[in-house]
Amino acid sequence: MTASDKTEAKPLRAERTRWIGQRVTRLEDRPMVTGTGHYVGDLNLPNQLHARVVRSAHARGRILGIDCAEARALPGVAAVWTAEDLGDLPPIPFRATSIKGLDPYCQPCLARGDVRYVGEPVAIVFAETPQIAEDAADLVFADVDEIAPYLDATQDPPDFAEGHGCEPVVIEKGYGDAEAAFAQATHVIELDLGIGRHSGIPMETRGALAVWDAGRRRLDMYGATKRPHWNRDRLAEMFGMSPSEIALHEPHVGGGFGIRGELYPEDVLVCLAALRLGRPVKWIEDRREHMQSANQSREQTHRIRAAIDADGRILGIDETLWHDQGAYVRTHGARVADMSIGLLLGPYRVPAYRARAHYRLTNKTPAATYRAPGRFEGSFVRERMIDAIAVRIGLDPMEVRRRNFIRADEMPFARNLTALETEVILDSGDYEGLLGKALAFSDWQRLSAEAETRRAAGDCVGTGLGFFVEKSGLGPSELVRVSVSTDGRVEVVTGAASLGQGMETAMAQICAETLGVHYNVIRVVHGDTDRIPYGYGAHASRVTVMTGEATRRAAELLRERALDMGAELLQAAPETLDILDGMIVSRDGAEVSLAEVARHLDPASATRGAREPGLAAEAWFHNKHMNYPYGAHTAMVSVDPETGAVRVERYSVTYDVGRAVNPAMIEGQILGGLSQGLGGALFEEFRYDESGQPVSVTFADYLMVSSAEMPPCDILILEDAPSPLNPLGLKGAGEGGVTAAGATIASAIDAALGRPGLVERLPATPQYIRRRIAEWDAAHGTPEGADA
Amino acid sequence: MTETIAKTEISFTVNGRPRTVTVEPRKTLADTLREDCGLTGTHVGCEHGVCGACTVLVDGKAVRSCLMFGAQADGAEIRTVEGLAEGEALAPLQEAFIRNHALQCGFCTPGFLMLITGALDENPDIRDEELTEILSSNLCRCTGYRNIIRAAIETAETLRRSRGAA
Ligand code: FES
Ligand code: FES
């Protein structure tokens, strides 16, 4: 009998409290508002040493020598290491894909032979206090013979090392006859576009605390997150240990956004030091270090060409991008470049496609994923093209979209492309339907009319829209164990991680509804390799889908076990019973609590019979394909043409997430994502001077959105297209607030200034906008009625 | 070097409780609270005075404890996030944060709570726009601020109403 058959048979089930879809408050919050949460910086162990990394001051050069004598002599210093001291410790590996040839470019934990970016670890100091460690680090002198750095990934790549160039791979994708499409085209539009270098910048910097118990042969590392199991296994390989001798633990985590929780050089060094020095070792990064050593992202230059027929239909797209990976290949390999071309096409039907991504290593801080990787960039590029087509054909951009959308009745739609090692098959969606709803919800007509009136009065005000398709629920697998203890409390154990998104609450809601308990009796354990043998982490908006479905399955199994035992205790048939708020109830009003049932299932209980001991169940969810939530952003902006400053006056996000577990948390994800998206669209950028020195290493130079820049934002969450790939219809919702922000703001700025195609690069800073106004007017003449 | 720097003894009250600690003169108030008083609810996000994660109240005023030396707080009355709740009972602002989903990772939360508490203590009749303006001095990377603004305004109203009723 399947679970759904049983549901039909249960009359009481209709009265059960619904948890999925409710805006309940978060289980996570109390410790955080009372200051009792523990982030890695709050953790200490007796007798611990403090680590401080000595970082390269040069973007590129040969290391002639590193003088550590003075640092070693400083009282309170336990050890100072350079690459020589690491022996044959391998470089940090990456998650393999079908892309080959990246191995020679992996990052050694301490620079070996060459330094390749400012901020690269060249030595590490271990001392009694953080202050001594910092003083000692200042005494380490690296003698470097500087080489001119490679800083522009669109320029020809120089050598990386003997026999290896700075372009390890050009990734190609495509299908159909692009050449024929371009030959047939009525119009060919070509755009050169670019996105600056951004990063997640969690408010908590990175950190790690490791301790080795030689007697028990056991290495514990606190401060892990995102991918604890993968990181544990790689540490074991690097140290030649068994994974069973290493445990990673996730404390409270102050935000991740894709960049935190990867295996970084510092994590490896802290663990190695704990092993070798026999004392706990703690490392907490400072903000300046974070800005030059944690993963950066986004920097790509795109040349997109579109073949268009006379009606504005896309016949083919040809795309070339140059991906600035920074100095080394990190744990993601070439995934962002790969995904950028794999997911570029978004919601549109494109009969022929040809794309290539030049993956190039420069002398900047290495790059990897940051919230909506490849899609923030790709949506900007694709939606800029839609606007350009609209201008060329003389059509409303919404009409261009409608003519090119994949239709709802074409779903599932196989793209004939891959991304993240899976085939891209759009699972469900009604793009045109969502566009209509987004326009109505955002009051588009009225806002656009208002903008026009204000423009006529001499103000620079405009509206813009960006459409996007996200992806979520990346497999391959997830395991969840649910158990009820003898006091009736429920524990959900998952190998996924939590970086502040509210996953504990979401999992508790799914478990509560499936099992029939209140969500606040549930405790969700995550990010701890000791508690569960497998876990695939928190990234790619996969937790709600993968862990969510595994949780539902485990709770369903546990429910069956509880009812089986309960049926015997209540002398009733299991299918006549239900579980309400932790009580198994029968039709005639008899009841027994889950706590009681758990006691009856004690291994030594006489009533257990032949049943498996314990009220617990575990379940896997395996999933080969991602699913694809989608949505639209709209903005109304005003621009001061004198200063180039942009003010975002209004914003809306319409997002179809298949099934919303907790709408309030999804809104929170969207708002938070939007603040990062607006930052990337208008302010944030890691810039480097000609010598490769990073000039954005504090919050004063890397400008993030504060509450003053954050516009009011209306959010419409839709559940029109549940995913057919899991029974609850879940799609992930963590990234859609970011994805189309760049595209949308660019479009609104163009409209505000009455200069189509003005924004070609993000962030559109005031300086950039002033420069572009001058360039645009030089090329096209000042538009009528606009300020020169 | 480090070890030869003389430490100084300082006394202050934290959340109503008198404390005496011995710290190096270069130690910030943030580190003094975290390391010497065991109050790790005060977070450090930048040590540059920009993010506001380290905001505490010193003699009723919101300050960035990363910009102040512990020694400068000698004799002061300090309030931190740990002092907001009374036993199990959360302060109205803490409840409003939870109710309005005004936090995600929670790292910036203590700083915002203290910033808002300071503003409401100083001027219970503060206008919504002023309050919103004050909030722009702290950074949050998770929430997009709108819910923090909502929680702050709602609390200001609650407090005004309860004063009116009293
Ligand atoms: S840590 Fe004090 S302002 Fe950022
Ligand atoms: S809640 Fe994470 S930084 Fe504000």
- What 3 state SS string does A259-286 have? CCCCCCHHHHHHHHHHHHHCCCEEEECC
CB atoms within 10 A of CB A534: 12
Of B44, B85, B135, the CB nearest to A707: B135
Q: What are the Cα distances from residue A268, in Å, to A133, A227, A231?
A: 18, 14, 9
3 state DSSP class of A252: strand
Given a contact cutoff of 8 angstroms between Cβ atoms, the answer to whether B92 and A46 are in contact is no
Sign of CA dihedral A40, A42, A47, A52: positive
- Read off the pLDDT band of A196 (50, 70, 90): very high
Question: From the CA of B16, how many Å to the nearest CA of chain A?
Answer: 16
Domain B8-83 shares a fold with domain B92-165: no
Q: Inform me whether the pLDDT recorded for A60 exceeds 80.
A: yes
Burial A320-332 (b: 16+ CB within 10 A, else e): bbbbbbbbbbbbb
8-state DSSP, A229: H
Ligand 1 in reach of B45 Cβ (< 6 A): yes
Overall average pLDDT of the A183-206 stretch: 98
Given a contact cutoff of 8 angstroms between Cβ atoms, the answer to whether A555 and A19 are in contact is no
For the CA of B49, the nearest atom of ligand 1: 3
Distance of alpha carbon A608 from alpha carbon A66, whole angstroms = 68
Distance of alpha carbon B120 from alpha carbon B156, whole angstroms = 7
Q: Inform me whether the pLDDT recorded for B165 exceeds 90.
A: no
Give, using CA atoms, the residue closest to atom 3 of ligand 2.
B140
- Read off the pLDDT band of A6 (50, 70, 90): very low
Mutate to test the pocket of ligand 1, among B27, B29, B66, B140 (most ligand atoms within 8 A of CB): B66
Judged on CB neighbours under 10 Å (0-12, 13-18, 19+), A468 is buried
Would the CB atoms of B106 and A129 count as touching at under 8 Å? no
B8-83, which class in CATH? alpha beta
Overall average pLDDT of the A696-707 stretch: 96
Q: Which one of A26, A29, A125, A501 makes the best mutation probe of the B interface by having the most chain B beta carbons within 10 Å?
A: A29
User: Could you give the residue range(s) of every CATH 3.30.365.10 domain in chain A?
Assistant: 3-37+474-622, 300-473+625-780
CB atoms within 10 A of CB A443: 16
What local confidence, expressed as pLDDT, does residue A67 receive? 98
Given a contact cutoff of 8 angstroms between Cβ atoms, the answer to whether A439 and A498 are in contact is no
Given a contact cutoff of 8 angstroms between Cβ atoms, the answer to whether A244 and A232 are in contact is no
User: Could you give the residue range(s) of every CATH 3.90.1170.50 domain in chain A?
Assistant: 44-149+206-284
B104 contacts: CB under 8 Å, gap ≥ 6 = A255, A500, A501, A502, A668, A672, B142, B143
CA of A287 to the centre of ligand 1 (A): 10
Three-point CA angle B40, A198, A221, nearest 5°: 40
In the block, which residue shows the tokens 């892309």?
A99
8-state DSSP, A612: P
The per-residue pLDDT for range A581-620, each reduced to its tens digit, is 999 999 999 999 999 999 999 999 999 999 999 999 999 9
**Which ligand gives the minimal distance to the CA of B138?**
1
Q: Inform me whether the pLDDT recorded for A510 exceeds 80.
A: yes
Q: What are the Cα distances from residue A57, in Å, to A128, A146, A293, A360, B97?
A: 25, 10, 12, 22, 43
The per-residue pLDDT for range A448-459, each reduced to its tens digit, is 999 999 999 999
What local confidence, expressed as pLDDT, does residue A84 receive? 97
3 state DSSP class of A9: helix
Superfamily of domain A44-149+206-284: Aldehyde oxidase/xanthine dehydrogenase, a/b hammerhead (3.90.1170.50)
DSSP B107-132: SSHHHHHHHHHHHHHH-TT--HHHHH
The per-residue pLDDT for range B26-46, each reduced to its tens digit, is 999 999 999 999 999 999 999
Q: What is the fold, at CATH topology level, of the domain defined by B92-165?
A: DNA polymerase; domain 1 (1.10.150)
CA-closest candidate to residue A251, choices A209, A214, A280, A223: A223
Would the CB atoms of B105 and A500 count as touching at under 8 Å? yes
Burial B47-81 (b: 16+ CB within 10 A, else e): bebbbbbbbbbbeeebbbbbebbbbebeebebbbb
Q: How many CA atoms lie within 13 A of B88 on its CB side?
A: 0
Give, using CA atoms, the residue closest to atom 3 of ligand 1.
B49
Would the CB atoms of A672 and B142 count as touching at under 8 Å? yes
Question: From the CA of B15, how many Å to the nearest CA of chain A?
Answer: 13
E runs forming strands in A409-529: 413-419, 422-426, 461-469, 477-484, 490-494, 522-525
Burial A337-366 (b: 16+ CB within 10 A, else e): bbbbbbbbbbbbebbbbbbbbbbbbbbbbb
Overall average pLDDT of the A124-132 stretch: 97
What local confidence, expressed as pLDDT, does residue A9 receive? 37
Overall average pLDDT of the A314-328 stretch: 98
- Read off the pLDDT band of A15 (50, 70, 90): low
- Read off the pLDDT band of A786 (50, 70, 90): low
Judged on CB neighbours under 10 Å (0-12, 13-18, 19+), A408 is middle
CATH code reported for the domain at A300-473+625-780: 3.30.365.10
Given a contact cutoff of 8 angstroms between Cβ atoms, the answer to whether A136 and A52 are in contact is yes
Q: What percent of chain A is predicted at pLDDT more than 90?
A: 94
- Read off the pLDDT band of A538 (50, 70, 90): confident
Ligand 1 in reach of B62 Cβ (< 6 A): no
Q: Retrieve residue A367's tokens.
A: 């790059």
Judged on CB neighbours under 10 Å (0-12, 13-18, 19+), A14 is exposed
Burial B88-124 (b: 16+ CB within 10 A, else e): eebbbbbbbbbebbbbbbbbbbbbbbbbbbbbbeeee
8-state DSSP, A368: -
The per-residue pLDDT for range A623-677, each reduced to its tens digit, is 999 999 999 999 999 999 999 999 999 999 999 999 999 999 999 999 999 999 9
Q: Which residue has the higher pLDDT, B1 or B17?
A: B17
Would the CB atoms of B98 and A30 count as touching at under 8 Å? yes
Of A502, A700, A710, the CB nearest to B145: A710
Q: What is the fold, at CATH topology level, of the domain defined by A3-37+474-622?
A: Aldehyde Oxidoreductase; domain 4 (3.30.365)
Give the residue extent of every domain in chain B. 8-83, 92-165
Overall average pLDDT of the A267-286 stretch: 98
Q: How many CA atoms lie within 13 A of A239 on its CB side?
A: 26
Q: Check residue A518 and give left, alpha or beta (phi > 0: left; psi -120 to 50: alpha).
A: beta
Given a contact cutoff of 8 angstroms between Cβ atoms, the answer to whether A297 and A283 are in contact is no
Q: Inform me whether the pLDDT recorded for A788 exceeds 90.
A: no
The per-residue pLDDT for range B6-15, each reduced to its tens digit, is 899 999 999 9
The per-residue pLDDT for range A381-417, each reduced to its tens digit, is 999 999 999 999 999 999 999 999 999 999 999 999 9
What local confidence, expressed as pLDDT, does residue A732 receive? 93
Mean pLDDT of chain A: 95
Question: From the CA of B18, how many Å to the nearest CA of chain A?
Answer: 19
Q: Which value, in Å, is the radius of gyration of the alpha carbons in chain B?
A: 16
A712 contacts in B (CB within 8 Å)?
A: 146
Overall average pLDDT of the A557-585 stretch: 97
